[in-house]
Amino acid sequence: MTRKIDIFDTTLRDGEQSPGCSMNTQEKVIVARELVRMGVDVIEAGFPVSSPGDFRSVSEIGTVVGDAAIVCAFSRALERDIESAAEALKTASRPRILTGIGVSPMHMRDKLRLSEDEVIERAAAAVAHARRLVDDVEFYAEDAGRSDPQFLLRVVQAAVDAGATVVDIPDTTGFCLPDEYGALVRLVADNVRGIEGVTISVHAHNDLGLATALALAGVRNGATQVECTINGLGERAGNTALEEIVMAIRLHGEELDAHTDIVTPELTRASRLVSRITGMDVQANKAIVGANAFAHSSGIHQDGVLKARSTYEIIEPAEVGASGPDIILSARSGHAALRHRLQELGYSFDDASFEEVYERFLEIADQKREVYDEDLESIVQERQRDITAIYTLNALQIQCGDPLVPTAVATITSESGERSVVSAIGTGPVDAAYKAINKVVGIESDLQEFAVKAITRGIDAIGEVTVRIAAQDGRIYNGRGADNDIVVSSAKAYVNAINRMIQATRSRA
């Protein structure tokens, strides 16, 4: 049997640090459930001391996950951070505290202003303190990729001596070349006393497009845990993509002496879910989960694939859930057929919510005859997005054309139940709709990006709009909306972004 590699997902912590990708507690719980379905070993759920919202999310996820995975909370090497992490993890059956400190010259000198000895002392104290609160403590040596290897060994030794159960050797800035990084991991594996009983973890960033290669180099050199995110979300250029590392290990398990327990047919759904929830699109040519990952367009390639898929395809689409059976539902499909298909897609509802989903399904089926899986996912995820809505768009009426003045009449309900009907004129239908919405919410924001795309097939497809708005403090929020009418999608997306902005402001308070 090959070595089991633990998949440590940090979509909810490092991933959430991508600009515009903040998620509220409910959204994080939805992602956590999908991570459990996928068989992830460790879920890093957040940074409890950073905000009340993050604290709540960690605690809620602890409850939801049960013993299906380890739930991990981030902290700096500070007592109050560690105590807050332990407190938030009280609900978890298998809690882990992640704590650590910068170990590169840049971090120690410019950020921490501490000497090498002081850093070692702080690292050991943090691990020992965390170990008094939970049994499972992971130590991260921040920016290990740019550290002096001999010093790194001293810090890791101190962490292991203080009781760390996992040590993470991150390339925080994505600076290393894969073989250099592998050598660093090997150095730790070969030279730290007592490392046999400790898991070595890798955490890499994609600043040079090498995040997956770095993680693989770590696995080759003794790491048995990989930290990664769905779609490679994360600070700056992102982290190692979960789907990439999992499939690379799956295809090269023998050479790497490695396997994971990930249920790979969940990969595509997880990718779409995270993309919709965060409002962060996946590039079409993204490995494994991009829209074009299994598309062949040149004649030579198509000819080959028709003769034998293996000529140009190293992964079968079904292996990553990219090509489920194309069951098409219509307005004639009854409750049972819809419920069955939704279950196959991984969604279940109580009777009352199912009835609402069914109503929306009928509306769509009436408008476009054939209802695909993408339509169903868009219905479900639209609901999930709206659960915590602060403002809800109930109706939108637009008048436009040549020579009309574009005019929008919007009906919006606020969370207190107050219903407003407002109208505005604009330079176009979307502008008019946004001006009407602004009259109700009364918050200034700056629209930075606006994109429309068809998420289902055909001329009657559901159009999805993604917007990015900047709040007055410069923070970015994404919003998404889907409807057959793209002006309605645009308005829904805008309301969604505003809801996120207000939620984020509240959870920081």
Q: Which residues bind Mn ion (CB under 5 A)?
A: 14
CA 170 to chain centre: 19
**CB closer to Mn ion, 231 vs 490:** 231
Collect all residues with Cβ–Cβ distance below 8 Å to 279 and sequence separation of at least 6. Answer: 20, 21, 466, 468, 478, 479, 480, 496, 497
In single-letter form, the type of residue at position 501 comes to M
**CB closer to Mn ion, 236 vs 335:** 236
Q: What is the dihedral of CA 171, 175, 181, 184, to 10 degrees?
A: -70
**Of 323, 496, 387, nearest in space to 30 by CA:** 387
| Contact between residue 264 and residue 253 where contact means Cβ atoms under 8 Å apart | no
Taking CB atoms, the residue at the shortest distance from Mn ion is 14
Least Å distance, CB 407 to Mn ion, is 48
Least Å distance, CB 235 to Mn ion, is 6
| Contact between residue 247 and residue 288 where contact means Cβ atoms under 8 Å apart | yes
Least Å distance, CB 248 to Mn ion, is 20
**CB closer to Mn ion, 68 vs 214:** 214
Q: Collapsing DSSP states into helix, strand and coil, what is residue 411?
A: strand
Least Å distance, CB 243 to Mn ion, is 18
Least Å distance, CB 140 to Mn ion, is 9
| Terminal CA-CA length for the chain | 50
Least Å distance, CB 15 to Mn ion, is 9
β-pairing, 70-76 vs 95-102, is: parallel
Least Å distance, CB 6 to Mn ion, is 17
Backbone φ/ψ region at 249: left (φ over 0), alpha (ψ -120 to 50), beta: alpha
| Contact between residue 126 and residue 77 where contact means Cβ atoms under 8 Å apart | yes
Cα distances (angstroms) measured from residue 101 to each of 97, 109, 442:
14, 12, 42
**CB closer to Mn ion, 208 vs 291:** 208
Least Å distance, CB 185 to Mn ion, is 16
**CB closer to Mn ion, 14 vs 483:** 14
**CB closer to Mn ion, 140 vs 361:** 140
**CB closer to Mn ion, 14 vs 464:** 14
**CB closer to Mn ion, 205 vs 368:** 205
Residue/partner pairs of 269-272 with CB below 8 Å, 24 or more apart: 269/34, 269/321, 269/345, 269/346, 269/377, 270/34, 270/35, 270/38, 270/230, 270/242, 270/243, 271/230, 271/231, 271/243, 272/377
Least Å distance, CB 222 to Mn ion, is 20
**CB closer to Mn ion, 14 vs 244:** 14
| Contact between residue 4 and residue 259 where contact means Cβ atoms under 8 Å apart | yes
The DSSP result for 261-314, as a single string, is ---GGGHHHHHHHHHHHHT-PPPTT-TTTSTTTT---SHHHHHHHHH-GGGT-S
